[in-house]
Amino acid sequence: MGRRFFVGGNFKMNGSISSVKEIVNNLNGAKLDPNTEVVVAPSAIHLLLVRESLKKEIAVAAQNIYYKKNGAFTGELSVEQLNDAGIAWTLLGHSERRVSMAEVAESNEFLAEKAKAALAGGVGVIFCCGESLEIRKENKTKEHVLSQLKSAASAIKDWSKVVIAYEPIWAIGTGEVASPEQAQEVHADIRAWLKSDVSPEAAENTRIIYGGSVSEKNCVELAKKPDIDGFLVGGASLKPAFVDIINAKSA
């Protein structure tokens, strides 16, 4: 049947109760492609609000988790707490937590521990990877992106609940976007790595989605590429045009 198209919306640290309710109401009333899996990731303070008011066909993700069980870890969310609240997914490894927020600076090894904990607890992982503009100019994109994935792979036994999100750092929130050809090239490299280093089954079935200034203007062309299985959307997920991006595959 092929890989089911997957679109995630990362609200980041945005939204008030009223604006999040407006986004939810828009999604609840919209006609969405039933062949596309949709997940939204509001900020932690809005997780329950969104899960309780959003139609069940759309899943909800946390933007981060901690790898330890419940305990004395101030400010963190556990896998058990997500399960209790009906939160089915978590983002991991977004560049804003890897490099942009210097006080966080999550390492590959730390993210592997988080992925292991999430999957062991039954929470799906949207695992982000991507390169800076400097790395791209040095023609080291493939090497860098695969190094991020290889570390996580050591902790992942079951890839059926993993979605890989390729997000070039230079295209996140900048208005720049990788061309369909640039994005497809990296997605194909990731799929080839999955086949050689994980398994042919993982390569065939794992969704690899693109993130980096995805909008209603570029999503349809990106969606036509054979190894682009969806999108992780930032700022545009806060707007009504998010519906157009969800429906990109059927446009």
pLDDT digits 0-9 by tens, 8-47: 999 999 999 999 999 999 999 999 999 999 999 999 999 9
Instruction: Render 122-169 in DSSP notation, one character per residue.
Output: T-EEEEEE---HHHHHTT-HHHHHHHHHHHHHTT-S-GGGEEEEE--G
pLDDT tens column, 83-110: 999 999 999 999 888 876 556 678 999 9
Helices 108-120 and 141-153 pack at an angle, to 10 degrees, of 40
pLDDT of residue 38: 98
Closest C-alpha among 91, 86, 19 to residue 55? 86
pLDDT more than 70, % of the chain: 98
Q: What integer pLDDT is reported at residue 212 of this predicted model? A: 87
Give the tens place of pLDDT for each residue, 200-222: 999 999 999 999 889 999 999 99
pLDDT-derived band at 230, boundaries 50, 70, 90: very high
**pLDDT of residue 111 exceeding 90:** yes
Give the span between the Cα atoms of 179 and 158, in whole angstroms.
31
Q: Which two tokens stand for residue 178?
A: 């990788």
Cα–Cα–Cα angle for 216, 217, 219, nearest 5°? Answer: 65
pLDDT value, residue 98: 82
DSSP label of 3: P
Q: Average pLDDT of the chain?
A: 94
Q: Which of 37, 106, 131, 167 is catalytic?
A: 167
Domains of the chain: 63-239 (3.20.20.70)
Mean pLDDT of 179-183: 95
Percent of the chain with pLDDT over 90: 87
Q: Which residues of 45-57 are buried (b: 16+ CB within 10 A; e: fewer)?
A: ebbebbbeebeee
Q: How does pLDDT run across 162-178, given as a tens digit for each residue?
A: 999 999 998 887 777 78
Is 94 noted as a catalytic residue in this protein? yes
Where residue 37 falls (left for φ over 0; alpha for ψ -120 to 50; beta otherwise) is beta
pLDDT of residue 103: 60
> CA-CA-CA-CA torsion for 7, 8, 9, 13, nearest 10 degrees?
-160
In this predicted structure, what is the pLDDT of residue 4?
98
CA distance 190 to 221: 20
pLDDT, residue 80, reads 97
For the beta carbon of residue 180, count every other beta carbon within 10 angstroms.
17
Which residue among 94, 96, 131, 216 is the active-site one? Answer: 94
What is the per-residue pLDDT for 99? 74
Question: Residue 102: what pLDDT?
Answer: 56
Q: Is the pLDDT of residue 186 over 80?
A: yes
- At 35 the pLDDT is 97
Q: pLDDT tens digits, residue range 130-155?
A: 999 899 999 999 999 999 999 899 89
Who's near 92: CB < 8 A, 6+ residues apart?
Answer: 64, 65, 111, 114, 115, 118, 125, 126, 127, 128
What's residue 147's pLDDT? 96
